[in-house]
Chain A
């Protein structure tokens, strides 16, 4: 009888021990401070696809086209804190026998130029497609300039060459994307 009771009590003691005691293996919750992710976002930017005769207006050549957009995107806190590199990638296809120059100016809120770049699309002498690619990289100083930008001015210049009229053949197309490299860590979240 005593032995039986002893056995029962031992059993209960084991159960209660099991209920109360649990073990752990080493964990370190401070590792959350190492948190770091690096997403790469690609976004369409500007485009253009026009026939040659678009650059002729009643026998006058349209040699310069310029317009601007006001953007607050680059001053956004998230961008300022986390963007570590950016690229603007342009793919142009030209079958017009004229060279085009694309210029992009980056202005700050006081309309001061922060950055500018240009690229050219090679003329196509025989109306075949001539493909040119251009990539503008923003890092360090140029990245800082980008983050100051609140106005983008786009200028399309048609450089001198064979005159264009309503019957000139060929097309020019520009496609582009922006690639944004982010580094988001514990300090900027």
Chain B
């Protein structure tokens, strides 16, 4: 598959050619924020962003979703209608693509496939976009995420001068760009140079393998309570996170008619683990903070093979009391050093 070139001035016509056959989702400006949203005309696409305010996860795992409708009297249940038009996610940054890769693993893991997630995901095409410059809260490089490439993207765009260099990763992607001119060897070199010039800075966080050891040893550490002191349990961090996948299942009914809904939930909510008996294994903020961090850096890795943090920095950015996940990891490292 040959890599392709698209002139920036042709982006709108390229985008509009996709809209005919696909539901196109791309970053747009909305109330001063960049958000991934369905696009009616490609001229709405706005690429002057670092990364959208919310992650791309809701495209495949919506914040609220009807599992089925029911009638209490007849006991009949009916699955919601499903739009068969395939989705193209255009302009996803590498941290969000890594988030989708993590969710792919979870929702297709084990003996049970999540049909709701997979029917959307399997009917989608991902088009990545190079992130020119990490934001203030970003640390994707810490996880080895390449801002200029992604394995799970069908196509990956890198802007340079008046063009996009299009890396073609899959047949499905190749079909979308068939009519575009092939990239020249010189273009590939230009993109590679861009990538080298934008090498990641060093991070003063303990490296991942060392972190794993610290997390195992530091389960009972006092530092969790210290870190959690200012947390107000709003769980905004879990909502903007590209990998957080916790959900609740509840029924809504009016009279005889109702629906079963799944909605995002979060381990930072104090009642998240409350049993019907009144017992709650995580009553303290420190326990919940520990769950969130260990799930990302230890449990998810053990179960699904990857760390479930992509360094997008959104949790730190959204937190109303400035809990910064990078600082949490640093504090944990320092606490472990003090101990040893």
Q: Say whether A and B bind each other.
A: no
Instruction: State the B residues within 8 Å of A (CB).
Output: none
